[in-house]
Amino acid sequence: MQTMTVTDAVSSALAEEMRRDPTVLLMGEGVATKRLPLVEAFGGARVRNTPLAEGIIAGTAAGAAATGLRPVIDLLFAPFLTYAMDEIVNSAGKLRYISGGQFAFPMVVLAQTGAGWGVGAQHNHNVEAWFVHSPGLKVVMPSNPADAKGLLKAAIRDDNPVLFFTDIGLAYADGPVPDGDAVIPLGQAAVLREGGDVTLVSYAKTVHGCVQAAARLAEAGIEAEVIDLRTLKPLDEDAILRSVRKTGRLVVVHEASRMCGVGAEIAALVAEKAFGSLRAPVVRLTGPDAPTPASFPLEQAFVPQAEAIESAARGLVQGR
């Protein structure tokens, strides 16, 4: 077991996968500048700086993926993906289906998002639900270094395009990471804490708010089960339903805005498949329908915090 940040965990996963598979390569704006050890280990042909042109980076990745390589591209910040939507959504996401299965797109798109650095709305926008809504794509958003490493290794080995979002607020947070080839399969949620009174479902940074809330709730005799989705598509429906059938109460928490967000999908899923188990209405705690502000207090106010999660859970359990 080592201690490392999410940023280092990503580098570690890249290094291990590039060593394991010579077809894996890394491209993006500054990847060769910022990840020098990878350049030293694998050379400039496999770690390529690119022009500031997200569309052609993503298109090059899709074309390469369909013809024998396994590219990982770093598009830096999630809002920049808007420049690459055609290549990710129309090409990587659709050309397998459109061609009757002639092509596969084993590629990973890295991007950061989320509150924490005060970078404002054109660098911080949690757009993960856009890609969940697009066929042919998978979406991952880890909450800690160990998951970042294990899930990125799985994403690189996956034969489908994977959007891999890392949370800016977690980038330099340390955490334990297992040694060795610890691959975490896509589509498996993690139960971080077991409890029978209320289920807290989240992903990325707000998972930590859920864990903090669960600890405080325990002090008050309320046992919360905390589920970290880790992968948003494919969604681990079983983990959610199993927990809600046990607790009968659900709070879904994410930083992305509410309408048509991942929380809406989970609420609908539970309404469709576990309605009879519900003892209270589902609660969603999300970011507002607003661009993300740069000002620190406003940025913090954007993100659902532990106090709000605790209060929502307490309200459900106490029937308020």
- In the region spanning residues 32 to 51, those forming contacts with another protein, defined by CB under 8 A, are 45, 48, 50-51
Q: How buried is residue 318: exposed, middle or buried, by Cβ count under 10 Å (0-12/13-18/19+)?
A: exposed
| Residue keyed to tokens 């397998």 | 96
Helix and strand counts by DSSP (H, E) for the chain: 13, 14
In the complex with another protein, which residue's Cβ is closer, 98 or 271?
Answer: 98
- The yes-or-no answer on residue 123 being catalytic is yes
| Residue keyed to tokens 């959007």 | 163
- In the region spanning residues 77 to 136, those forming contacts with another protein, defined by CB under 8 A, are 86-87, 90-91, 95-106, 135-136
Provide the minimum distance between the beta carbon of 313 and another protein in the complex, in angstroms, as a whole number: 35
Q: What is the CA radius of gyration of the chain?
A: 19
Q: How many residues does the chain have?
A: 320
CA distance 316 to 198: 8
The dihedral through the CA atoms of 268, 271, 277, 283 has a sign that is positive
In the complex with another protein, which residue's Cβ is closer, 96 or 208?
Answer: 96
In the complex with another protein, which residue's Cβ is closer, 100 or 221?
Answer: 100
Provide the minimum distance between the beta carbon of 118 and another protein in the complex, in angstroms, as a whole number: 30
Helices of type H across 79-118: 85, 95-98
In the complex with another protein, which residue's Cβ is closer, 102 or 219?
Answer: 102
What does the block give as tokens for 303? 């993100």
- In the region spanning residues 141 to 180, those forming contacts with another protein, defined by CB under 8 A, are 159-160
Contact call for residues 76 and 112 (beta carbons, < 8 A): yes
Sequential DSSP letters for 167-207 = EGGGTT-EEEE-SS-----TT--EEEE--SSEEEEE-TTHH
Provide the minimum distance between the beta carbon of 67 and another protein in the complex, in angstroms, as a whole number: 4
302 Cα distance to chain centroid: 18
Residue of 123, 125, 208, 254 marked catalytic: 123
CA distance 172 to 95: 37
In the complex with another protein, which residue's Cβ is closer, 99 or 300?
Answer: 99
Question: Does 187 help bind another protein (rule: CB under 8 A)?
Answer: no
Provide the minimum distance between the beta carbon of 37 and another protein in the complex, in angstroms, as a whole number: 21
Provide the minimum distance between the beta carbon of 9 and another protein in the complex, in angstroms, as a whole number: 26
* 8-state DSSP, 169: G
Which x/- pattern over 59-78 shows residues binding another protein (rule: CB under 8 A)? xxxxxxxxxxx-x-------
In the complex with another protein, which residue's Cβ is closer, 97 or 296?
Answer: 97
Provide the minimum distance between the beta carbon of 93 and another protein in the complex, in angstroms, as a whole number: 9
Beta strands 138-140; 162-167: pairing state: parallel
Question: Does 26 help bind another protein (rule: CB under 8 A)?
Answer: no
Question: Does 188 help bind another protein (rule: CB under 8 A)?
Answer: no
- Provide the CB-side half-sphere exposure for 77 (13 A, CA): 15
| List of residues contacting another protein (CB under 8 A) | 23, 25, 45, 48, 50-51, 53, 55-56, 58-69, 71, 86-87, 90-91, 95-106, 135-136, 138, 159-160
Catalytic residues: 123
